[in-house]
Amino acid sequence: MTTELTHASTLRELVTDQGVLRYREAGDGPPLLLLHGSGPGVTGWRNFRGNLPALAEHFRCLVLEFPGFGVSDPTDRHPMVAAGDAVSRFLDGLGLHRVDVIGNSMGGIVGVQWALAHPDRVRRLVTVGGIGPNLLSPTPAEGVNLLTEFVEDPTRERLARWLRSMVCDPALVTEEMIEERWRQATDPAVLAASRRMYGREAVAARAARAAASRTPPYWAMLHTLKARTLITWGRDDRVSPVDMALLPMRTIPDVEVHIFPNCGHWVMIEQKEAWERTVLAFLTRKDAS
């Protein structure tokens, strides 16, 4: 790892009117915002640290840590709601008007929602699984059910079971990874935030609100998305099954889809080199505007 990328492992801080946002930075060039997913022990650094050497050759990579996951200062808002506001505070605080965005799972949803709300500020958008509704597969999916089991009664075995549902090759889930995730996932504040997202009561309440709401879900508005978009997905995803990509693929005006075989939810980790080649080809293509 270069000196610059070694330095990227050091957290930077941006003081805002709603607390400190922490982030990692590597590379020079056009700004590229990387948004992490959810789940026990997740951070932006753990999601994307392996991809920074390739991406930082072309972009100024900014890996934002969302509030509620144990790195940036927490808020009293639901983590999904807090995440979109954090993106605005972060980019405004750094004086960045227009960026490219990569979002993994929850980060992809946040990226889509932010691009819908700020159509002039996202040039190109890459999602990694997770966007769209379940059309052919049951909901919640297997991986989400395992996540709920963990947050309701956290044990190392439940954590390991959930982590293995994230990948096609279970050998990728090492004891080191389990230990790293366990330490953060069981922090009381982080666990409380996870329960607000994935506890049984939270899941039931979210379903009830969706059924009663007169506001269309974000995926019903994808036909208005202005950003040129690349959807990436693992064919063997057990957290957000690949049929979820069908509606975004059909309704986003300027969209491409790449599905990786022998790959679960963590495409950027499990198919690292292939994913990086695909994403960089999309982000650096001269016809992308």
Q: In the numeric block, which tokens belong to residue 147?
A: 């996540």
Structure tokens at 211: 């059924």
| Active-site position among 36, 223, 258, 265 | 265
Q: Residue 190 to residues 45, 47, 157, 240, 254: CA-CA distances in angstroms?
A: 16, 17, 18, 22, 37
Active site residue 265: yes
Query: For helices 200-212 and 188-198, what crossing angle results, to 10°?
Result: 40
Q: Are strands 31-35 and 99-104 parallel, antiparallel or unpaired?
A: parallel
CA distances from residue 138 to 42, 132, 238 in whole angstroms, order as listed: 25, 14, 11
- Asked whether 219 and 107 are in contact (CB, 8 A), the reply is no
Strands 31-35 and 19-26: unpaired
Per DSSP, the chain holds a count of helices (H) and strands (E) of: 13, 8
Residue tagged 């994913």 (tokens): 275
> Which residues carry out catalysis?
265
